[in-house]
């Protein structure tokens, strides 16, 4: 491990985090949304202080690990766009797997009435570590250059803060409404595909159920027709028996009169 690598990782982590926090703060100011809770800011800063050091060293470790997989050559515009989209999809996919594994027993995730971007830094270290892993693992499988890597990291770090703001509250409520719980960081890619896959399966099951229900109805109708025909046959036999017995009794009565 060289001094250049340490300087690279430190510069990368500090610049991305500071720029993301400044961007989120500026956006909240523009939209007149609170960045932190003024009533609990002292307690919030204490919680954040406990997370900052392990979060910093964890980010340095991730940056050093991915340093040898990042390319330093210029990519074309098509490569840039394709890598950024693929990188984002892989991040969403990893987070989808993590979220559904760790919240398998939960049926619904409630949304606080009032949220602040600073709340994102108060999450437990396990969640933050998994968040960092989701952001960095795709770099082991892709041919990213530094610009693509920094752009995606900056975007997801900034959005990680803004997704806890009043600006994104309506978006979060919409995601929770249609995906209970929603399992995305920013883009509900996996939720969308899983939802429509389950929807198609449900529709197929419903079609099969309707098909079998139709068969049952046809069988019931056939059974009813058989019962009606058998009842009619029995009634016809009963009428014949009555006629026969009636004619026999009339003959016996005539014989008695003649005698």
pLDDT per residue, tens digit, the chain (259 aa), is 678 888 888 999 999 999 999 999 999 999 888 898 888 888 888 888 888 888 899 899 888 888 888 888 889 999 999 999 999 999 988 988 888 777 664 544 444 556 788 888 887 888 888 889 999 999 999 989 999 999 999 999 999 888 888 877 666 655 555 555 556 778 877 666 666 666 655 455 454 445 445 555 556 666 666 666 666 555 555 445 454 555 544 444 445 444 4
Helix axes 125-136, 41-67, angle to 10 degrees: 30
pLDDT recorded at residue 236: 55
Max Cα separation, the chain?
141
Helix axes 77-102, 146-162, angle to 10 degrees: 40
Long-range contacts of the stretch 6-13 (C-beta < 8 A, 24+): 6/60, 6/64, 8/63, 8/67, 9/60, 9/63, 9/64, 9/67, 10/60, 12/63, 12/150, 13/56, 13/59, 13/60, 13/63
pLDDT recorded at residue 110: 47
As a whole number of angstroms, the distance between CA 4 and CA 92 comes to: 31
3-class secondary structure, 208: helix
pLDDT recorded at residue 109: 46
Contacts (Cβ under 8 Å, ≥6 apart) of 135: 62, 91, 152, 153, 156
pLDDT recorded at residue 205: 46
Measured in whole angstroms, the distance separating CA 141 from the mean position of its chain's CA atoms is 24
**pTM greater than 0.75 (yes/no):** no
pLDDT recorded at residue 128: 84
DSSP state of 74: P
CB 182 within 8 A of CB 96: no
């Amino acid at each position: 491990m060289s001094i250049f690598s340490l300087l690279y990782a430190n510069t990368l982590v500090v610049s991305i985090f500071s720029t993301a926090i400044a961007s989120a703060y500026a956006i909240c100011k523009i939209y007149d949304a609170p960045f932190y809770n003024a009533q609990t800011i002292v307690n919030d800063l204490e919680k954040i202080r406990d997370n900052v050091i392990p979060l910093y060293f964890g980010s340095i470790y991730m940056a050093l690990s991915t340093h040898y997989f990042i390319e330093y050559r210029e990519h074309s515009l098509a490569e840039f766009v394709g890598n950024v989209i693929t990188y984002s999809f892989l991040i969403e996919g990893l987070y989808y797997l993590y979220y559904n594994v760790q919240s398998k027993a939960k049926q619904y995730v409630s949304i606080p009435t009032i949220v602040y971007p600073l709340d994102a830094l108060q999450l437990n270290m396990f969640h933050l570590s998994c968040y960092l892993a989701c952001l960095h693992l795709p770099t082991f499988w892709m041919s990213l250059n530094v610009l693509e890597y920094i752009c995606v990291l900056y975007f997801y770090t900034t959005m990680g803060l803004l997704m806890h703001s009043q600006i994104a509250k309506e978006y979060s409520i919409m995601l929770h409404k249609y995906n209970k719980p929603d399992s995305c960081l920013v883009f509900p890619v996996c939720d969308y595909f899983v939802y429509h896959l389950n929807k198609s399966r449900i529709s197929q099951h419903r079609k099969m159920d309707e098909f079998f229900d139709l068969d049952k109805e046809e069988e019931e109708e056939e059974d009813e027709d058989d019962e009606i025909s058998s009842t009619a046959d029995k009634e016809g036999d009963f009428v014949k028996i009555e006629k026969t017995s009636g004619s026999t009794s009339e003959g016996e009565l005539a014989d008695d009169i003649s005698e």
